[in-house]
Amino acid sequence: MTGDECTAATIYQISKVTSEGVYLRKRMFNLFLSILIGYALVLALCRIFESRLIFFPNYPDRLAGDWNPRGLGAQDVWLTADDGTKLHAWWIPNEAAKFTFLAFHGNAGNIADRATVYEFLRDTPANVLALEYRGYGRSEGKPSERGVYRDADAAYLYLVNTKGKDPKAIVSFGQSLGTAVAAHLAAHHEVGGVVLEAPFPSASRVARKFYWFLPGVGLLLHSQFDTEQRLKAINVPVFIVHCNQDPVLPFQFGQEVYNAARSPKTFLEINGQCHEEASIIAPDNYRVALRGFLSEIQRRKPAGGSK
């Protein structure tokens, strides 16, 4: 092979390697771009269908459950939120009550599914107003974060203005998603205390925990449900209950919420696997701790407060 032929062959090889390098880089760029577009699409879909990932009013069925639970003494109450949405609730009185629980349920089912919980609260003893969010059970409308806060306000005003309850004798009680509603209410209205069963710090914290493979998903959430932030404005006693084998919201979340709360605060760890069923699997422990918590609220109340 002559010198010219060697030079030509070398140039050809270099050109070939260069072309292959350019082609490989182009393929890598296209792959990266496809992944980026796909990821952005997934995040966009999460944002678009966010409410369906948070609220489950039709699971297992919107009107499932016993609407006339024997021995509960529940009375149907109809409320109207400030945007005109008609809401359903149960008023469950107890003649020996010194307090009234304003109860906010979780993100699935309705109040008929939770009659056992309300019976437990009533027997502390206390009155119970169990609210059904818009879009849930017999309430009208469609659920949203702002909407459920409006619903909570309507229930609170009903207790104060219609039932004549002393705000300092109202205990904002929430379970699961309802803990964010209970904390929001207590941060904006006068109450005697707050009970949070199976709470979570915020919607973004939940997203980061369960969707860790989607970096940034927490930042795109429109819904906040920021209990940690609300707790900064709450100066009344806070009682947190969490099962140490909670299959839905990790026990760690309850600890994080407790750490964010101001004193006085109480944490009750329930041994076992449960989410909103603490009063069912450990009624005695729960009852003793809850009564102690209510006694603490009673000591803080001025003399002569109404029930």
CA distance to 22, 60, 138, 266, per residue, from 29 (Å): 10, 46, 53, 54
Q: What pLDDT was estimated at residue 64? A: 87
- % the chain with pLDDT above 90: 69
Least confident of 37-51, 135-149, 273-287: 37-51
Helix, strand, or coil here: 189?
coil
pLDDT, tens digit (0-9, with 9 covering 90-100), for 111-167 = 999 999 999 999 999 999 999 999 999 999 999 999 999 999 999 999 999 999 999
Does residue 89 surpass a pLDDT of 70?
yes
More confident residue, 43 or 115: 115
Separation of CA 78 from chain center: 24
Question: CB atoms < 10 A from the CB of 107, how many?
Answer: 21
Q: What pLDDT was estimated at residue 27? A: 73
- Taking residues 65-69, report their average pLDDT: 92
Phi-psi region of 272 (alpha: psi -120 to 50; beta: other; left: phi over 0): left
- Contact between residue 183 and residue 152 where contact means Cβ atoms under 8 Å apart: no
Pairing of strands 127-132, 170-175: unpaired
CA distance to 37, 136, 151, 220, per residue, from 216 (Å): 14, 30, 30, 7
Q: How far apart are CA 29 and CA 19, in angstroms?
A: 15
Does residue 88 surpass a pLDDT of 70?
yes
Does residue 264 surpass a pLDDT of 80?
yes
Q: What pLDDT was estimated at residue 43? A: 46
- Contact between residue 138 and residue 63 where contact means Cβ atoms under 8 Å apart: yes
Does residue 229 surpass a pLDDT of 90?
yes
pLDDT, tens digit (0-9, with 9 covering 90-100), for 13-39 = 655 556 666 666 777 666 655 655 554
Q: What pLDDT was estimated at residue 241? A: 98
Q: What pLDDT was estimated at residue 49? A: 44
Q: What pLDDT was estimated at residue 279? A: 97
pLDDT, tens digit (0-9, with 9 covering 90-100), for 92-117 = 999 999 999 999 999 999 999 999 99
pLDDT, tens digit (0-9, with 9 covering 90-100), for 190-222 = 999 999 999 999 988 888 886 655 665 555 555
Average pLDDT, the chain: 87
